[in-house]
Structure 1
Amino acid sequence: MCIYMQPWTGESLSRSCHFPKHRRILVDEEMDPLTAIILLTALLHQSDGQGFPYKKVNVFSFPHSKSQNEKQILEMHNEIRRSVIPTARNMLKMVWSDKAAKNAQKWASQCGMKISPRDKRVINGVTCGENVLLSSYPRTWADAIQVWYSQSSNFKYGYGATSKNVNVESYTQLIWYNSYKVGCGVSYCPTGLYKYFYVCQYCPAGNNPMQIAMPYRSGPKCADCPGHCDRGLCTNPCKYQDLLGNCKNLKMLFGCGHSLVKKKCPASCKCTTQIV
């Protein structure tokens, strides 16, 4: 079973895989530098449910009920987001995106078995993040999300990854404060070693490398969204996306009347009371 993760930029991640000798697999040295792979044991039953805030679901749902899967995926993501430690003052509640789901399913159906190219994850001008899972046997969405969530054991808020050669980007994408739209797809890919390919896309993308250690602002739940709170999650997302990483500074220095700031920083300029 494999997880691929998408960095924010083109920076490469560790390609080494610590794996029991009798199950060790070599990683292709020509792997796309935008991806990294974790190889885990084929059956992860011993870790299922450990420390996970959501009740484990054992019934496979691939995917006989579209609405049931959507509900399960949303509930699990939002429960994870509500349960972060320390608590979050600006964590947005996730909602289902049919467009993100369609895009995720399109990539899953191609059986590419890796993170999709960044330019294939632009929806209505917004770049989306992505988590993927390769499995040799069918899993529930609860199982798939649990695998991504399991990286939380290697993450410490304010510090980031707790040791070298561990990956946390699937987990940090789950809890990225302003990634509030999610859509997922899964496909059966019979010709490969891993026959089931799970894909979730998150809009806007998380995992900004400058903020990876703090994927949200810590503080009392919903402190940044008074009057717009659903059980600890904010419900007032900004509908725009900044195209530059330093828009807050640019806004303070030049103001939104400046042509560059106005063009490149629509979220910072247009969303004064929403979560940006």
Structure 2
Amino acid sequence: MFAPSTNFLLFSFLPAAGLSNFYLSPVYAALSTDLPEVQIEITDQHNELRRLVYPTARNMLKMVWNAEAAKNAKSWAEQCIYSHSPVSRRKVGNITCGENLYYSSVPKSWSSALQGWFDERDSFTFGVEPTSSNAVTGHYTQMVWYKSYEIGCSFAFCPYSALYKYYYVCHYYPAGNVVGSTTTPYKKGDPCGDCPDACDNVLCTNPCKYEDTYANCGQLKKQYTCKHPFVLKYCTGSCQCTTEIQ
């Protein structure tokens, strides 16, 4: 693996003709998330996979495309650095996005990349910590994190990488995999149990558009109510969203 600074320099000096030829090729055309049909493919497959969780979810939100998240994902993918981006590079507004990375030595469809992340569920048991130290489940849990309802992805060709030349990056808004809750990425129960009046084929369509600053906002709201200035300022999700999924 190249050091980040070396990667940047090498990528900068790639012959223009070689790079242009690749980005005009059918391979790139099938993977570029600038195309609406690719955005739809990625969003639809995420939703199809979210419908397949077991046990079933009572609060799983339906995903939609986020152009700003896709822009951030593209910015990182084009660096050809095979590690997670700094948190500062995956912000939409003031909200941090989660991030899944996939690299391959040969071009693969987006469907294959997404399925690769989802297949980590074979090592996942709801509510139970993995028993193997080698178990990797974080890509799966981010994909099915109930509250991550917007997605933006991008693809980059990394010609000077020794092994992995094809790089796929997805950003999830808002971020999942909250510390302490990674074994319960959603509430299990009857599909749409928490959104009976806002349900589209077992996925909820009523996300809360506000975020709490503190994890214990539910308790603060109950104890002090939203009339308290502190609660009103820092617990906007809990105060503004009474029926939405938050």
TM-score by length of 2: 0.84
Q: CA deviation at 1:121?
A: 1.2
Q: CA deviation at 1:171?
A: 0.3
Q: Which runs of 5+ in 2 are unaligned?
A: 2-28
Q: Which moved more, 1:252-261 or 1:77-86?
A: 252-261
| Counterpart secondary structure, 2:31 | coil
Amino acid at match of 2:107: P
User: Is 1:137 aligned to residue 106 of structure 2?
Assistant: yes
Measure the CA separation in 2 of the matches of 1:162 and 1:74: 32
Measure the CA separation in 2 of the matches of 1:228 and 1:129: 25
Aligned residue runs from structure 1 range 106-125, under 5 A: 106-125=75-94
Larger Rg: 2
Query: Structure 1 residues 212, 64: closer, same or farther in 2, change over 3 A?
Result: closer
C-alpha contact (below 8 Å) 2:226/2:232 kept by paired residues: yes
Q: CA deviation at 1:258?
A: 2.4
| Counterpart secondary structure, 1:114 | coil
Measure the CA separation in 2 of the matches of 1:155 and 1:65: 33
| Corresponding residue for residue 198 of structure 2 | 228
Amino acid at match of 1:107: W
Q: CA deviation at 1:243?
A: 1.8
Greater fraction of residues in helix: 2
Q: CA deviation at 1:163?
A: 2.5
- Pick the aligned partner of 1:213 from 154, 171, 183: 183
Aligned residue runs from structure 1 range 248-263, under 5 A: 248-263=218-233
Aligned residue runs from structure 1 range 83-98, under 5 A: 83-98=52-67
Amino acid at match of 2:96: T
| Corresponding residue for residue 241 of structure 1 | 211
| Counterpart secondary structure, 1:150 | helix
Q: CA deviation at 1:65?
A: 7.2
Measure the CA separation in 2 of the matches of 1:67 and 1:162: 41
Listed one character per residue, the Cα deviations across residues 18-72 of structure 1 (whole Å, up to 9, x for unaligned) are xxxxxxxxx9xxxxxxxxxxxxxxxxxxxxxxxxxxxxxxxx9222871221111
| Counterpart secondary structure, 2:170 | strand
| Counterpart secondary structure, 1:157 | coil
- Pick the aligned partner of 2:143 from 148, 169, 174: 174
C-alpha contact (below 8 Å) 1:160/1:214 kept by paired residues: no
Q: Which runs of 5+ in 1 are unaligned?
A: 1-26, 28-59
| Corresponding residue for residue 153 of structure 1 | 122
Measure the CA separation in 2 of the matches of 1:235 and 1:111: 35
Moved over 6 A (4+): none
Query: Structure 1 residues 71, 64: closer, same or farther in 2, change over 3 A?
Result: closer
Query: Structure 1 residues 186, 239: closer, same or farther in 2, change over 3 A?
Result: same
Q: CA RMSD in A?
A: 1.8
Aligned residue runs from structure 1 range 180-219, under 5 A: 180-193=149-162, 194-219=164-189
Between Structure 1 and Structure 2, how many residues are aligned?
Answer: 219
Measure the CA separation in 2 of the matches of 1:270 and 1:211: 24
Listed one character per residue, the Cα deviations across residues 45-102 of structure 1 (whole Å, up to 9, x for unaligned) are xxxxxxxxxxxxxxx9222871221111111110111111111000000001111111
Q: Which moved more, 1:225-234 or 1:259-268?
A: 259-268
C-alpha contact (below 8 Å) 2:33/2:39 kept by paired residues: no
Measure the CA separation in 1 of the matches of 2:218 and 2:88: 25
